[in-house]
Structure 1
Amino acid sequence: MIRRLVTLLGPEHARPLNRAAVLLAVSAALQGAVFAVLLPILRAPGDAWPWLVAAGVATAVCGIVYHRGVVTARHAGYTLSSHLHGRIGDHVVTLPLGWFTPARVGSLGRLATQNVMSVMGVPAHLLDPLIGAVVTPAAAALALFAVDWRLGLAALAAAPLAVAAYRWSGRLVRRTDEAANTAAGEAAARVVEFARNQPVLRAFGLGGPGLRLLDDALAAHRNAARRLLKTALPGMAVFVVTVQAAFTALVLVAVFTALGGDVDIPTTVVALVLAVRFTEPMLVAAELGAAVRMAEGALDRVERVLAEPRLPEPAVSRPFGAPSIEFDGVRFGYDGTPVLEDVGFVVPAGTMTALVGPSGAGKSTILRLVPRFFDVDGGTVRVGGADVRELRGEDLLRRIALVSQNTFLFAGTVADNIRFGRPDATDREVRAAAERAGIGALVTRMRVGEGGTQLSGGERQRVSIARALLKDAPIVLLDEPTAALDAAAEQAVTQALDELRGERTLLVVTHRTATARAADQILVLDGGRITERGRHDELLRLGGRYAEFCALREHARGWRIPAAGKTEGD
């Protein structure tokens, strides 16, 4: 496992770990061998002062080396934690959005916290006893050979049995650790979900105990933890019994040789002390065996995430021309299910194009393909005249601002969340963006709550729009920008979009007739294909799906919810 950590850290960051391993190995060897110096001291107490000096020097060196080894191991653990967090963060932002399924998102939080802490604990807390469990018994066995060859052979005979029992117990733990980790991640996700969605749950009478999804997740976690415990205990018991049997065998050999007159009393005393040093570190390792195997499982999960293939991108981007968007024969699907088929269109620079169509037609998918959140299955997506696969992700995203349906706000002020679009923006620029999005009065609000819970849905949407406006990117992608807005806010946002035409290239998904009417071009999607295209008046005269869409929207305006207790004839 140490080799895997060294490989993961790389030569530059692995030096503290290698240094700690060497220092702790030297200290463990001294701890195992220093007791052999007792033999000449016990045999000739009157002439033992040179050996006493040697024992004192060895003990002092052992203490100094051990102290430096422990401090270095702690430093190696902190270095490993920082390095893993950095690598995981740098890697996941290069993965396609298709990788971020709900299950993976839940496990990623557990990976970056509990799993990384478990891996960090190997050098910080487990390296010392693990090295001691190997090196100290080996040094004690060599010292036993020096005392009496029969004791040395007895120690060597016991070592393979102890190693086999340790590995068997480790395999038992790893067999159930993955299931326990998955169950723990699901339970944690359900608890967070339960806490965050209390308003909805209480509205349906589910805000208290007895929520089936949460109860099932907690029960699964409890059962998985029990299975892990039941699986780990037998292996640990076998290992402990094996080590105790080895200690008993060493004691018996020492006693029999002493009773037979083959060795003297000082030799027997030293042999018994070395027998204790041979077995004691292995018993400590038995207590930590489950933690080591769980750390190996955590390391497996970290390595699996780091091995996920990232979206390939060039070292240098192609030249970026005028901020146009072009789809050329694009095919795309999720997990083998086709969503877009032979989609082709051009959004000229400085114009506004509206995407209209029924739910599931592929409108939002088109928006996700522009910033290359996914790679197409066929065809080409071009931004600024360049294939998005020939642009570095950083260069592509710098030119695009996105307003999605699901707006996420960070805990902080409204101004902080708007400034997220451009961190170096001045207060005046933040306020100007807020004014254009129709939320100038909200900028002075101190907090938005976790995830923006203290704002209404429309307010969150307008903060997202202000954030995109502040970014000042030449291309703006908007997914239902006015869906959660009231009439006044919708008018403010529509006016802002109208002002941006000519300044920016706009691609808008909308179900609002007013937004579509303002577009230079309307694309009607149905079944993953573009079935109609043109301006508002042209498509109305065509009398196709867009005309039907407008008619339905106009009819919906006349809907009224009758007052309670009244009927149509009242």
Structure 2
Amino acid sequence: MIRRLFDALGPEHGGALRRLLGWFTAAALLQGVAFVLLVPALRELLGGEPERAWPWVVALALAWAGYAAVNHPATLIGYRTCADLLRDLHGRIGDKVAQLPPAWFTADRVGGLGRLASQRVIDIMGLPAHLLRQLVDAVVTPLVVVPAMALFDWRLAVSTAVAALAVAVVYRVASRSMQAADRDADRVHADAAGRIVEFARAQPVLRAFGRTVEGHAALDEALKAQHAAGGRMLRAGMPGIVGLGFIAQAAFVALLALGTYLVLDGSLGTAELVALLVLAARFVEPVMLLAELGGAIRVAENALAEINALLGTETLPEPEVSRRADGADVELDDVRFGYDGAPVLNGLSMRVPQGRITALVGPSGAGKTTVIKLIARFFDPDAGTVRVGGVDVRDMRTEDLMSLISVVFQDVYLFDGSILDNVRVGRPDATDEEVYAAARTARVADIAERLPGGWDAPVGEGGSRLSGGERQRISIARALLKNTPIVLLDEATAALDAGNEHALRQAVAALAGQRTVLMIAHRLQTIRDADQIVVLADGVAAETGTHEELLAADGHYARYWRERSRAAGWRLTRRDPVPAEN
């Protein structure tokens, strides 16, 4: 566990943690020496010449004074290290999260990350100030007590060593079962937390289908599983607590019985027995405390393992020297990529010319959004190359690549702030005039006029106070404000009405000749005026050309266009009721 704590805190805190362990070890050694000095002191006090005990009493007093002098700063350093741990560990987790590729953040991982950064950090907060001290005492005390007993009676020393070995075995076995139960409970707790959030967000759907009484079955099952996991943790922890306590008490009783037998046999004096039993009691005390704190220690061990697993997660490799893009064209060369072994792109080659609007169309699941994520380097292709400005994106640092690209996704997330704050996310150092200009181009001014508070109106968590189309417009305004040479639009008009979609088309058209635009849209009317249309099918670029050229080719795009045109003409008609049979 101590090694994992070093890994979690990082090399910059390694020296401080080693010094803390040194203080704890010194305090435990001095305390052990003080208890050892009790043996000759008591032997002389209970003997025929008590005045001979003075040297031992003085040595004992000096040992306790040394212990007090070491224990006070050790305690203060422990609490200070605890505060540093809380601050810096959150910082390390935050820095790591910022380095992870966006593709890492799946729904299950996001839920687990929230628990990791909150509950799991709290689980290990007590390590430097409290739990680590108990672990050091539990290890150092037997190392002092057992050799000290051997100086006075080897038989009691051997018996104590056997008891120490039995305690170590029981603790090891109990730790394994407790850690397994804690890992299972952590997984169940994370799932339950996700289900609670899902239940809250799904209230409109649940109520629409009359599911207000029986609730959400998935949540009910998750809560039952959480309760069962708590019971399993209790059952897994109790044998260790009871077992360690039993071994400790049994060891003390055995030492007492053995010592009494030796006294009656005449091979051990009564004074020595009393003194040695004091040492035995000192051996039992940290073991009993370790049994009480064993569950917390094992939970902390699991928490450290999970945090270190996150900190050890591989990120996308970054080049030591970032290459500079020459232009703003985008090219995919024989790119292959898949999810969990299922191929999506099978040798895709396509080019997005600089300063032109390229539209990407194809059926659902064809890999259109995957193309955008590969260009933004949310992940790397399994094979092939993605180039921006003639440079492989893997040869550019993430900040350099993202300084060239603005992305607008279909699913928009807004922060719990004002309209103006959410637009400014695109470029925090932008002037107010630049923010307003981008917002007006994306028709965000209409939203500000509608809400009380105008531009300072809060949008709610995730943009809950706005409609889907309004959230989409703010997201587009962010991209416009960022003012990058490359703009990637993934179904940016999906939630817009006809009027706002027309306004967006005008804004995108204004970008032509200034920015490289790659846009995905299922509404073909949105992309018919694009300079180039690429049709994805079977993981490759099946067709490339303008709207008129692709219609004339009578291929995938033409069939897709005809299907969409027929769908656009669908109408709801009134059907006469069927007369009832007599």
Q: TM-score range by the shorter chain?
A: over 0.9
Q: 2:175 aligns with which of 170, 173, 177?
A: 170
Distance in structure 2 (CA, Å) of the matches to 1:524 and 1:428: 39
Which residue is equivalent to 1:494?
A: 505
Aligned residue number for residue 429 of structure 2: 424
In structure 2, how many angstroms separate the alpha carbons of the residues matched to 1:206 and 1:567?
Answer: 31
2:83 paired residue number: 78
| Fraction of identical pairs, as percent | 49
Contact 1:129 1:281 (8 Å CA) reproduced: yes
Partner of 1:447: 458
Q: How does 1:307-456 map to 2 (within 5 A)?
A: 307-441=312-446, 442=448, 444-456=455-467
CA contact 2:442–2:473 (8 Å) conserved in 1: yes
Given residue 40 of structure 1, which amino acid in structure 2 is its aligned partner? A
Aligned partner letter, 2:19: R
Report the CA distance shift for 1:104/1:46 in structure 2 as closer, same or farther (over 3 A). Answer: same
Structure 1 regions of 5+ residues with no counterpart?
none
**Who is 1:12 aligned against?**
12
Contact 2:188 2:229 in 1 (8 A): yes
Q: Structure 1 residues 535-544 or 447-456, which shifts more? A: 535-544
Following TM superposition, by how much is the alpha carbon of 1:51 offset from its aligned partner in structure 2, in angstroms? 4.4
Work out whether 1:89 is the aligned partner of 2:94. Answer: yes
Residue identity matched to 1:15: G
**Structure 2 unaligned blocks of 5 or more:** 449-453
1:327–1:382 CA contact under 8 A, matched in 2: yes
Instruction: Note the alpha carbon deviations across 1:8-45, whole angstroms, 9 max, x for none.
Output: 43442112211111111121222223133344263455
Contact in 2 for aligned 1:137/1:279 (Cα 8 Å): no
Q: Is the CA contact 1:353–1:522 (under 8 Å) kept in the aligned structure 2?
A: yes
Deviation at 1:114, TM superposition (A): 2.2
Q: 1:328 aligns to what SS in structure 2?
A: strand
How many residue pairs get aligned? The number is 567
- Give 1:533-548 correspondences, 5 Å limit: 533-548=544-559
SS of 2:455's partner is: coil
CA drift at 1:261 = 4.5
For the residues of structure 2 that align with 1:157 and 1:309, how far apart are their CA atoms? 45
Q: Name the structure 2 match of 1:551.
A: 562
Cα distance in 2 between the residues matched to 1:261 and 1:89: 67
Q: 1:113 aligns with which of 106, 112, 118?
A: 118
1:455-502 per-position Cα deviation (integer Å, ceiling 9, x unaligned):
110111111111111111111100011110112221221121111112
Question: 1:138 corresponds to which residue?
Answer: 143
Distance in 2, matches of 1:456 and 1:347, equals 32
Could you say if the C-alpha distance between residues 55 and 95 of structure 1 is closer, same or farther in structure 2, counting changes exceeding 3 Å?
same
What is the CA–CA distance in structure 2 between the aligned matches of 1:315 and 1:349, rounded to whole Å?
A: 27
Distance 1:195 1:326, change over 3 A: same
| Mapped partners of 2:347, 2:541: distance in 1 | 9
1:328 counterpart letter in structure 2: D
**Shift, 1:324, TM fit:** 0.6
Q: Which moved more, 1:15-24 or 1:135-144?
A: 135-144
> 2:480 is matched by which residue type in structure 1?
L
CA contact (8 A) 1:138 1:278 kept: no
- For 1:80 and 1:312, the matched residues in 2 are separated by 28
For the pair 1:504 / 2:515, whether they are aligned, the reply is yes
Q: 2:451 — aligned with what?
A: none
Residue 141 (structure 1) shift: 2.9
- How many angstroms apart in 2 are the aligned matches of 1:357 and 1:149? 84
Structure 2 vs 1, CA of residues 207 and 381 (structure 1 numbering), >3 Å: closer, same or farther?
A: farther
Contact 2:8/2:304 (CA < 8 Å) preserved in 1? no
Distance 1:355 1:11, change over 3 A: closer
SS in 2 for 1:194: helix
CA drift at 1:52: 4.2
Greater shift, 431-440 or 55-64, is seen at 55-64
Which amino acid in structure 1 is aligned with residue 186 of structure 2? N
Aligned partner of residue 120 in structure 2, secondary structure: helix
- Whether the 8 Å contact between 2:551 and 2:557 is mirrored in structure 1 is yes
**Alpha-carbon separation, structure 2, partners of 1:50 and 1:515:** 97
Name the counterpart of 1:157: 162
Which of 465, 484, 487 is 1:473 aligned to? 484
- Asked if structure 2 preserves the Cα contact closer than 8 Å seen for 1:169 and 1:239, the reply is no
Shift of 1:551: 3.4
Shift of the 90–566 alpha-carbon distance from structure 1 to 2, 3 Å rule, reads: farther
